[in-house]
Amino acid sequence: MVVHAPIEGKASKLRLDISLGSSLVASQEIDAGASATFIISDPELWYPVRYGKQPLYKVKATIVENGEDIDSVSKKIGLRRAELVQRPLKEQPGTSFFFEVNGIPLFCGGSDWIPADNFIPRISKERYYDWVKLVADGNQFMIRVWGGGIYEEQAFYDACDELGILVWQDFMFGCGNYPAWPELRASIKREAEENIKLLRHHPSIVIWAGNNEDYQYAESVDLEWDQNNTDAESWLKTDFPARYIYEKILPDACRELCPSVYYHPGSPWGGVDTRDPTVGDIHQWNVWHGTQEKYQNFDKLAGRFVSEFGMEAFPSVKTIDAYLPLGKDDPDRYPQSSTIDFHNKADGHERRIALYLVENMRYAPDPLEQFVYCTQLMQAECLASAYRLWKRQWKGPGREYCAGALVWQINDCWPVTSWSICDYYLRPKHAYYTVKREMAPLSVGIMRREHQHPNPQNKYSRIDITTQVQIEIWGSNLMLEDLEVDCLVRAWDVETGEETYAKVVHEKLLLPKNQSTEVIAMDVPMQKKGDEGRTVVAAYLLESSSSTSSKDVSDGVTTTPSQMGKKQLARYVNWPEPLKYLHLQKPKELKAELSGDGKSVALSAEVPVKGVAVESEDDAVRFEDNLVDIVPGETVWIPVRGASEGTVVTTRYLGMI
C-alpha cells in the first residue's frame, strides 16, 4: 500500500498511521511531500455483502512541526482486489463482462441510482444510509450512479463501503453531445481529477464509466464516430467532439490518479455498437421503450451485462395520499386525474402502462388501491422475469453469458409514478420483494415454452400442427460451495384447486457453486390434454437426504407443503400466461394470521391465488417479503417488523375485484 498526502503550506514532517478498529497496524513518519509504502501482512479483506465482511482500515495523515501535531485528516479504506473480466466465451460469440472481487466472480444483481431528492441538501447522512441498506437488504450487490445525476456525497459512498455494495460510478455526462472547446476541456479535466481524488479511496467503487448513453445518442442522430479512428485530435474536428472527453481526458485522469479501477468509456459501450449484446454492457429498453416487447421474452433480450432496464409502477397509495392536497378526500384521487398524471414525467406513460396492463391481466382503474396494486404486480412480474432469465445465463467458468442486471431504478427524487422499485419515502413497491427473492443465495426458475410441430406430410398447412407446451426448470446457486438438492414438482388446476401432480423429478441433483444449472424440461403436468392454460406448476428445491449443508440458503419464503417432508431451500410458482386468460377463483378461505409474537404473518388458501400482498395502515409495520403466490396445501410465512398486538393485516390479490 502506497500512501501520499499532499500538503498545503509549509511543513517538514508528516506522520501516517494505519489502524483497524482500535488497533494500530502501522505507523511511519516521513518528510513532507514524500510517499510511504506500507506492507500489511495477513490483511483483512473487504468483500461485497454476503460474500464476506467489510473491514475498513483508517489511514490518518498528521502534519508534524517541531514535535507538535498541526493538522490531520483521516480516510477509511478497504483492501480488496477488484477486476472486470472480459475474455472469450465458450460456445457463444463475444466476451464476458463480469466483476471479480478477491477472486470471486459475481453475478451483479443491483440497481441504478438517481439523486434521492430534487433539493440535494435535504438528503441527510442517515437517509443515504437507509437507502443503501434497503439495497443490501434486498439481496442486491451493486449500485450504478447515473451520469445524469451528481457525484454523490461522501455519506453515500461510506454507506456502500460499510454495507458491502459495489459502485459503478458514471462521470456526469448524460444523454447528449457535449461541446469540447479548449477552455471547457480544461474545466472537465479539473472536475474529473478533483472527483477522482475525492472518491478513489472507497473500496466500493469498482468501475468508472465515461457517460450515460452519449454514444447511444451519437448513433441515434448519426454523428461522425469511427471506432477504428484512434487519432484523438481528429475527433475534435467532427460533430461528435465529446468523444475526446470519454476516450482521452477521463481515461488519462483515471490512469494517473486511480489506475487500479477499470475505466469504461460509457454506458452502454462495447461491440459493433451500443446495442451489441455480445460485448460490454447494454441498456435494454425494448421493454417499455423501443419496440415495447413482452417482458416474458427477456431471455431473448439479454446482454453480457444489462446495466439498465425497467418497468413503471405507481407508488404506494400512502404516497399518493400524501401529495394530494386533500388526501383521501381529494376529488383527484383516481389514476387518470390531472394531479396524479402530473406526478409522472415519462413520455407516453399513460399508453405504456395501459399497454402492459391490458396485455397481461384483468384490471380496472377503480378503486385506486386495486389499480395501484395491478401496476405494481405488473412491474414485479416484469422485473423478476428479467433477473430470473438473465441469471439463468450465468452458467459457470467460460459461460458467463450474462453477468449482471441493474434495474432502472432503486429510488425517486420526488413522490411520483416511475420505474423505481421503492418510492420517494423508501416504501418498497412489490417489485422490490420479487427481485429480492430472485437474488437469493439459492433460487429455482421455471419457463413455460410452446413448441409447434407441423405435420411432415402437410407442412404447408397452418392447421395440421401439433402444439407441445413444456416447462423448463433450473436452479441458480450463487453460493461459494456446491449443493446437493432434490427437485419436487407439483401442479394444480387453477379453477378447482385440485392437485394434479406431485413428484420428485430429480434426486441428489448437484448444483455447482456460483452458477445456474438446468434441472429438467418436461411437458406441463396437466390432468388431461389441453389443460395447459389452467395448470399452475410449482418447483421446490429441497435439502437432499445426503446433503451435509446446514447453511441457511432460504429464498425468504418459508412454506410447509404436504408431501414435502424435507427442508425447503427454494420455491417458485409458475402460472399460464397471459394471466388475463385465467379463470381465477376467489378463495373462500384466504387466511392471513399474525403470529402471537407479531413477527410473522401466515398465509394459506384452498385454491391457487396469484400475487397475495399483505398490507397495514400502520407505516411502522414493515414486511420482509411480499407479493407471494399461494397454492393449496401449504402455508407461507412472511416475516414482519414493527407489528404489535393490535396490528391489523389485510390482503390484496389478483382477481379480488
How is 583-627 classified by DSSP, letter by letter? -PPPPS--EEEE-TTSSEEEEE-SS-EEEEEEE-S-TT-EESS--
Q: Which of 412-416, 423-427, 436-440, 587-591 has the lowest mean pLDDT?
A: 587-591
| pLDDT the model gives residue 617 | 92
What is the rounded distance in angstroms from the CA atom of residue 649 to the CA atom of residue 621? Answer: 10
Cell of 321: 395520499
Is pLDDT at 563 greater than 50 in this prediction?
A: no
CA distances from 519 to 404, 475, 506, 563 (A): 22, 7, 7, 20
Question: 213, 381, 532, 634: which is the annotated catalytic residue?
Answer: 213
| pLDDT the model gives residue 547 | 53
| pLDDT the model gives residue 549 | 47
| pLDDT the model gives residue 550 | 42
What mean pLDDT is reported for the chain?
Answer: 93
What average pLDDT does this structure show over 410-428?
Answer: 97
Q: Which amino acid is at 220?
A: S
| pLDDT the model gives residue 219 | 95
Is pLDDT at 61 greater than 60 in this prediction?
A: yes
What is the rounded distance in angstroms from the CA atom of residue 132 to the CA atom of residue 162? Answer: 10
| pLDDT the model gives residue 161 | 98
Is pLDDT at 551 greater than 70 in this prediction?
A: no
For the four alpha carbons of 206, 311, 216 and 413, in that order, the dihedral sign comes to negative
Is pLDDT at 386 greater than 90 in this prediction?
A: yes
For the four alpha carbons of 267, 272, 276 and 280, in that order, the dihedral sign comes to negative
Whether 278 and 94 have beta carbons less than 8 Å apart is answered as yes
Share of the chain above pLDDT 90, in %: 82
Cell of 452: 409447434
| pLDDT the model gives residue 633 | 92
Active site residue 213: yes
Name the band, by pLDDT with cuts 50, 70 and 90, for residue 457.
low
How many CB atoms sit inside 10 A of residue 287's CB?
Answer: 24
| pLDDT the model gives residue 546 | 57
| pLDDT the model gives residue 588 | 93
Outline where DSSP puts E strands in 280-381. Answer: 282-283, 306-308
Name the band, by pLDDT with cuts 50, 70 and 90, for residue 461.
low
Rounded to a whole number of angstroms, the CA Rg of the chain reads: 27
**Between these two residues, 388 and 32, which has the higher pLDDT value?**
388
Share of the chain above pLDDT 70, in %: 95
| pLDDT the model gives residue 544 | 86
pLDDT digits (tens, 9 = 90+) for 590-644: 999 999 898 999 999 999 999 999 999 998 999 999 999 999 999 999 999 999 8
Q: Which of 163, 45, 40 is nearest to 104 (CA)?
A: 45
Is pLDDT at 390 greater than 60 in this prediction?
A: yes
Whether 568 and 577 have beta carbons less than 8 Å apart is answered as no
What is the rounded distance in angstroms from the CA atom of residue 531 to the CA atom of residue 384? Answer: 26
Q: Is the peptide bond before 268 cis (omega within 30 degrees of 0)?
A: yes
Is pLDDT at 552 greater than 60 in this prediction?
A: no
How many CB atoms sit inside 10 A of residue 407's CB?
Answer: 28
Whether 79 and 203 have beta carbons less than 8 Å apart is answered as yes
Residue in this structure with the C-alpha cell 435494454, named with its chain if needed: 284
Is pLDDT at 322 greater than 80 in this prediction?
A: yes
Strand order in the sheet with 483-493: 499-511, 483-493, 535-543, 568-574
Name the band, by pLDDT with cuts 50, 70 and 90, for residue 557.
low
Cell of 606: 384452498
pLDDT digits (tens, 9 = 90+) for 499-512: 999 999 999 999 99
451 beta partners: 468
What is the rounded distance in angstroms from the CA atom of residue 478 to the CA atom of residue 397? Answer: 13
What is the rounded distance in angstroms from the CA atom of residue 355 to the CA atom of residue 203? Answer: 43
Name the band, by pLDDT with cuts 50, 70 and 90, for residue 526.
confident
| pLDDT the model gives residue 558 | 55
Q: Is the peptide bond before 370 cis (omega within 30 degrees of 0)?
A: no
CA distances from 577 to 43, 296, 435, 535, 574 (A): 52, 9, 20, 11, 9
- DSSP code of residue 197: H
Rounded to 5 degrees, what angle do the CA atoms 656, 558, 393 make?
90
What average pLDDT does this structure show over 392-402?
Answer: 98
pLDDT digits (tens, 9 = 90+) for 241-274: 999 999 999 999 999 999 999 999 999 999 899 9
- DSSP code of residue 429: P
pLDDT digits (tens, 9 = 90+) for 118-163: 999 999 999 999 999 999 999 999 999 999 999 999 999 999 999 9
Residue in this structure with the C-alpha cell 413477527, named with its chain if needed: 599
Beta pairing, strands 142-145 & 166-170:
parallel
| pLDDT the model gives residue 152 | 97
Is pLDDT at 5 greater than 80 in this prediction?
A: no
| pLDDT the model gives residue 31 | 82
What is the rounded distance in angstroms from the CA atom of residue 531 to the CA atom of residue 492? Answer: 10
What is the rounded distance in angstroms from the CA atom of residue 396 to the CA atom of residue 398? Answer: 6
What average pLDDT does this structure show over 463-479?
Answer: 88
Is pLDDT at 282 greater than 80 in this prediction?
A: yes
What is the rounded distance in angstroms from the CA atom of residue 13 to the CA atom of residue 182? Answer: 39
Is pLDDT at 32 greater than 80 in this prediction?
A: no
| pLDDT the model gives residue 548 | 45
Q: What share of the chain is helix, strand, coil (3-state, %, to 5)?
A: 20, 30, 45
Whether 279 and 254 have beta carbons less than 8 Å apart is answered as no
What is the rounded distance in angstroms from the CA atom of residue 425 to the CA atom of residue 625? Answer: 18
Q: Which of 644, 522, 8, 1 is nearest to 16 (CA)?
A: 1
Rounded to 5 degrees, what angle do the CA atoms 357, 362, 368 make?
75
Cell of 455: 405435420
pLDDT digits (tens, 9 = 90+) for 78-124: 999 999 999 999 999 999 999 999 999 999 999 999 999 999 999 99
pLDDT digits (tens, 9 = 90+) for 45-57: 999 999 999 999 9
What is the rounded distance in angstroms from the CA atom of residue 400 to the CA atom of residue 410? Answer: 25
| pLDDT the model gives residue 459 | 65
What average pLDDT does this structure show over 28-35?
Answer: 80
Is pLDDT at 467 greater than 90 in this prediction?
A: no
